[in-house]
Structure 1
Amino acid sequence: MSDKRACALSRAATWIDVLELQKHPEGGWYREIYRASEQIPVSGLPSRFDGERAFCTSIYFLLAGDEFSALHRIRQDELWHFYDGDGLTVHVITPDGVYSEKKLGRNPERGDSLMHVVETGHWFGASVSADGFALVGCTVAPGFDFADFELPSGDELLALYPHHEALIRRLTR
Structure 2
Amino acid sequence: MPDRREILTGAALAGAAALSPGQANAQGSTMHQGMTYQDVERLLDLKPNATCGYVRVTYLSEERIAPGGLPAPFESGRPMGSALYFMLTPQQPVKLHRIRNDQFYHYYLGDPIEVLMMLTDGSTQQHIVGPDLREGHRVQLFIPGNTFHTARVIGTRQWFLGGSTEWPGVDPQDVELGNADELARRFPSVSEQIRTWPLPAKG
Does TM-score exceed 0.5, indicating one fold?
A: yes
Q: Whose RCO is larger (CA < 8 A, sep 6+)?
A: 1
Matches within 5 A, 1:112-131: 112-129=137-154, 131=156
Q: CA deviation at 1:8?
A: 7.5
User: Counterpart of 1:147 in structure 2: which amino acid?
Assistant: Q
Q: CA deviation at 1:53?
A: 0.9
| 1:139 partnered with 2:131 | no
Q: In the alignment, which of 82, 95, 110 is matched to residue 85 of structure 1?
A: 110
Matches within 5 A, 1:20-169: 20-49=45-74, 51-129=76-154, 131=156, 132-169=158-195
3-state secondary structure, aligned to 1:73? strand
3-state secondary structure, aligned to 1:81? strand
User: Counterpart of 2:123 in structure 1: which amino acid?
Assistant: V
When structure 1 is superposed on structure 2, of 153-162 and 18-27 the one drifting more is: 153-162
Q: CA deviation at 1:172?
A: 4.5
Indicate the structure (1 or 2) with the bigger Cα radius of gyration.
Answer: 2
Q: CA deviation at 1:87?
A: 1.2
Q: Which residues of structure 2 form unaligned runs of 5+?
A: 1-31
Mapped contact 2:65–2:80 kept (Cα < 8 A): yes
How many pairs were matched up? 167
Could you tell me how far apart the structure 1 residues matched to 2:35 and 2:146 are?
A: 35
Could you tell me how far apart the structure 1 residues matched to 2:106 and 2:125 are?
A: 18
Mapped contact 2:107–2:161 kept (Cα < 8 A): yes
Q: CA deviation at 1:27?
A: 4.2
When structure 1 is superposed on structure 2, of 56-65 and 85-94 the one drifting more is: 85-94
User: Counterpart of 1:39 in structure 2: which amino acid?
Assistant: R
Mapped contact 2:105–2:141 kept (Cα < 8 A): yes
Which structure shows the bigger proportion of residues in strand conformation?
A: 1
Q: Which residues of structure 1 form unaligned runs of 5+?
A: 1-6
Could you tell me how far apart the structure 2 residues matched to 1:151 and 1:50 are?
A: 22
Q: TM-score, normalised by structure 1?
A: 0.88
RMSD (Å) for aligned C-alpha atoms: 2.0
